[in-house]
């Protein structure tokens, strides 16, 4: 429409039954648009809902072990780790230390390194072994 006074723009918006919406207030002159604001807001919300439907939600599953875990328990928990990663979720493996076990963190690190070695073909290490309080943990993500 070109450059129009505010009064003229408001009159045109009222005649057409539309709203005068300021698009670029910092421009010189200010840029405005005649639109049906409620319809525009509705369409924006509809687009947001549609985009939300197509998102992939990634959950972080945690597996807790001890540094003195037996072989059978280890295999059971490792199979669960494989299921989580194949389903597309992240997995956090934590080694909890109790009592005097905290004095031997190398035992926990050995278990975590074994997990990393065995999961090389279907997982990638996102966070390497980190000691936090009385636990040591790693975060694994599925390979693409």
CATH for 123: 3.30.110.10
Which residues span the domain enclosing 15?
6-52
pLDDT band at 65 (very low <50, low <70, confident <90, very high): very high
Q: Does residue 40 share a domain with residue 19?
A: yes
Mean local confidence (pLDDT), 113-133: 92
- Which runs of consecutive H residues, i.e. helices, occur in the chain? 6-16, 37-53, 71-86, 105-118
Q: Does residue 100 share a domain with residue 67?
A: yes
pLDDT band at 46 (very low <50, low <70, confident <90, very high): very high
Q: Does residue 94 share a domain with residue 25?
A: no
Q: Does residue 83 share a domain with residue 134?
A: yes
Distance (Å, rounded) from C-alpha 113 to C-alpha 91?
15
pLDDT of residue 51: 87
Kindly report, residue by residue over 67-89, the tens digit of the pLDDT: 999 999 999 999 999 999 998 89
Q: Does residue 82 share a domain with residue 28?
A: no
Q: Give the CA angle between residues 106, 107, 112 to the nearest 5°.
A: 90
For residue 33, the domain's CATH number is 3.10.20.80
Domain count, the chain: 2
């Amino acid at each position: 429409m070109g450059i129009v006074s505010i009064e003229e723009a408001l009159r045109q918006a009222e005649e057409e039954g539309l709203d005068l919406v300021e698009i670029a207030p910092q421009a010189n002159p200010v840029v405005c648009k005649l639109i049906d604001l409620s319809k525009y807001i509705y369409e924006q919300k509809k687009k947001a809902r549609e985009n939300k439907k197509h998102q992939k939600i990634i959950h972080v599953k945690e597996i807790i072990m001890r540094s003195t875990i037996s072989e059978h328990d280890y295999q059971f928990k490792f199979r669960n780790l494989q299921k989580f990663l194949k389903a597309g979720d992240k997995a956090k493996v934590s080694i909890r230390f109790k009592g005097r076990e905290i004095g031997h963190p190398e035992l926990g690190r050995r278990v975590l390194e074994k997990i990393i070695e065995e999961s090389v073909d279907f997982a990638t290490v996102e966070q390497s072994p980190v000691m936090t309080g009385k636990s040591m943990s790693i975060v694994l993500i599925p390979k693409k």
